[in-house]
Amino acid sequence: MVKYNSILKDIKVVLKQTEIPIETGIFSKKAPDEYLVITPMSDVFELFADNLPQHEIQEARLSLFSKRNYMERKNEVVDLLMAADFTISDRRYVGFERDTGYHHFSIDVAKEYEMNFIMEGE
């Protein structure tokens, strides 16, 4: 049996201190002036030994939506994630959405996890 990790949970824990509302997949409530949406991208077993994966790399995209100047918030999010050992693989301004008034900035993150196998009876 394997104890699996979750990049989604870990991102939410790290970014809780920003007090930016965060949801996964789609923001389902009435959108505030600033919020984050996390979209899972991949889960890859990179390193094997004895036919068992030893490491897993999980990737997700964070979409920051802001009606204000997004630059300070973007930097805060990136700094917190890097301090928590996330890899930032891409950052880009997606654009200004005229119909909603939001700036959209995306941040792609990855985290490597060591696989934790739990033996029966533990």
Residue range 8-18, pLDDT digits in tens: 999 999 999 99
Question: When comparing pLDDT for 80 and 114, which is higher?
Answer: 80
The secondary structure of residue 17, as a DSSP letter, is G
In CATH, which of 1.25.40.10, 3.30.2000.30, 1.10.275.30, 2.70.70.10 is domain 2-117?
3.30.2000.30
Question: When comparing pLDDT for 28 and 121, which is higher?
Answer: 28
- Cα 44 versus chain centre, distance: 15
pLDDT the model gives residue 115: 79
Q: Which helix (H) or strand (E) holds 112?
A: strand 102-114
CA 39 – CA 58 distance, rounded (Å): 11
pLDDT tens for each residue of 77-98 = 999 999 999 999 999 999 999 9
Question: When comparing pLDDT for 43 and 2, which is higher?
Answer: 43
Residues 29-48 as b or e (16 or more Cβ within 10 Å = b): eeeeebbbbbeeeeeeeeee
Quote the percentage of the chain above a pLDDT of 70: 88
pLDDT the model gives residue 2: 65
